[in-house]
Amino acid sequence: MDPMLFSRLTTRREMLRATSAVAGGALLARFFPGTLLAGAARPMAYPQQAGAAPADPLAAMRAQMGATPLETLKLSDTLTMLSGPGGNVVVLNGPDGKVVVDSFVQNVWAKLKQTLDGVGNAPIRLLIDTHWHFDHTDNNANFRAAGAQILAHENTKKRLSEPHDLLGMHFPPSPASALPTQTFTATHRMQANGENVVLGYIPPAHTDTDIYIQYQRANVIHLGDTYFNGMYPFIDAGTGGSINGMIAAANRSLGLVDANTKIVPGHGPLSDRAALTRYRDVLVTVRDRVQREKTAGKSVQEVVAAKPTAEFDATWGMGFMQPDVFVTIVYNTL
C-alpha cells in the first residue's frame, strides 16, 4: 500500500542510502505476517537494524523519504518534473498559474514550495492527486493553504476520508483541509498555459483511485503508481489493487503513448514507451507463472520458494519490492 515505502528505495543508490530511519523489513513482516518473509527481508539494506521496529513508522518513513534529494528536470517549455522525496511531481507553469501533480511528503513542504517558486512566479492554481497514497497527497493541506484547489478522482476523496493501515503505518481520516475540492469519475479535461490536459480514471490497478494525466501538446503523460519504472511495483490490495489491474493499466497506457512520449512513472526515472513495454512484459510473465502454479494447487509458500521471478530479480528486485513480497502480492491478488 504504500507508495512511500517504495519510493524510498527506487534506486540502488537510494536503497544503499536508506539504512538510517526505518527497519523496512520489520514493517513488511508486520504487513505480511508469518514465516513467509523470514528470508525476504533485505538484511543487506538494513545492516544496522535487523529486528528494530520504529515507534512511529509513518513519521520514520516521512523522515527517511524527506531526506531524498529533490532533483529537477525540464520536460518542455512549460513542464518540469521534480523527483525525490516521494515519487515524481510534474509542474505545468505559465500565466494561468501553476498546475502541479502530486505533492511529496509533509516534511519537505518548505523545500517543495521553494522549488515551485523557482520554476516561476505564477501562483499555484491547482494540485492534482494521482491517487490516495500519502507520498503523493501528504501536502494537500499545504497546497490549499497556499491558495490552490485540489482535483482528484472521487475515490481518492473517499479513501482519504477513511482510516487506513498500511505496511505498519496508520492513517487517520484526512481533515477537510486536506481533501480534494473537486472530483471526477471518468475523465476531466482542462486547458492551462497553452496545454490541453486530459485526466482519465484507470480501473483498479495499484489502488482504486488511480488516474493518468496527459499533456497533449508537450506529449508527456504522468501514470502515477500504476507504473514503477525499472522495479517491481507495489500493489495495494487493501484499496482495490491487483496484478491483473496493473497489467490492464500498462496496456491501456501503451495505447495512450507513442515512441516520442515522455512518460513520468509514479516512482523511478523518466521513461519512454520501450521501457513501459518491458515493464508490462515482466508483469505478464510473472503473472502467468504464478497463475499456472496457483491453478495447479500450489500454496503461496510453494510458489515463492520456486522463485518465479529469479531471472528478473537482479534488476527489477532492487527497488523497494523484494521479489518474495512481490510474488506474494501477485499470488494473493489472482
- Interface contacts to Zn ion, rule CB under 5 A: 3, 133, 225
H runs (alpha helix) in the chain: 3-8, 12-17, 24-31, 57-66, 109-119, 134-137, 140-145, 154-160, 243-254, 273-295, 300-305, 313-316, 323-332
CA–CA dist 13, 241 (Å, integer): 28
Start-to-end Cα distance in the chain: 17
**What does DSSP say about strands 220-222 and 262-264: parallel, antiparallel, or unpaired?**
parallel
CB of 131 to Zn ion, least distance (A): 6
CB of 211 to Zn ion, least distance (A): 12
- 211 within 8 A of 247, measured Cβ to Cβ: no
The smaller minimum CB distance to Zn ion, of residues 109 and 234, is found at 234
CB of 277 to Zn ion, least distance (A): 22
The smaller minimum CB distance to Zn ion, of residues 21 and 223, is found at 223
The smaller minimum CB distance to Zn ion, of residues 129 and 225, is found at 225
- 231 within 8 A of 267, measured Cβ to Cβ: yes
CB of 133 to Zn ion, least distance (A): 3
The smaller minimum CB distance to Zn ion, of residues 14 and 225, is found at 225
The smaller minimum CB distance to Zn ion, of residues 96 and 225, is found at 225
Burial class (CB in 10 A: 0-12, 13-18, 19+), 53: middle
CA–CA dist 122, 1 (Å, integer): 34
CA–CA dist 111, 75 (Å, integer): 20
- 25 within 8 A of 53, measured Cβ to Cβ: no
CB of 293 to Zn ion, least distance (A): 27
Is residue 99 classed as helix, strand or coil in its secondary structure? Answer: strand
The smaller minimum CB distance to Zn ion, of residues 215 and 320, is found at 320
Ranked by CB distance to Zn ion, the top (closest) residue is: 3
CB of 171 to Zn ion, least distance (A): 12
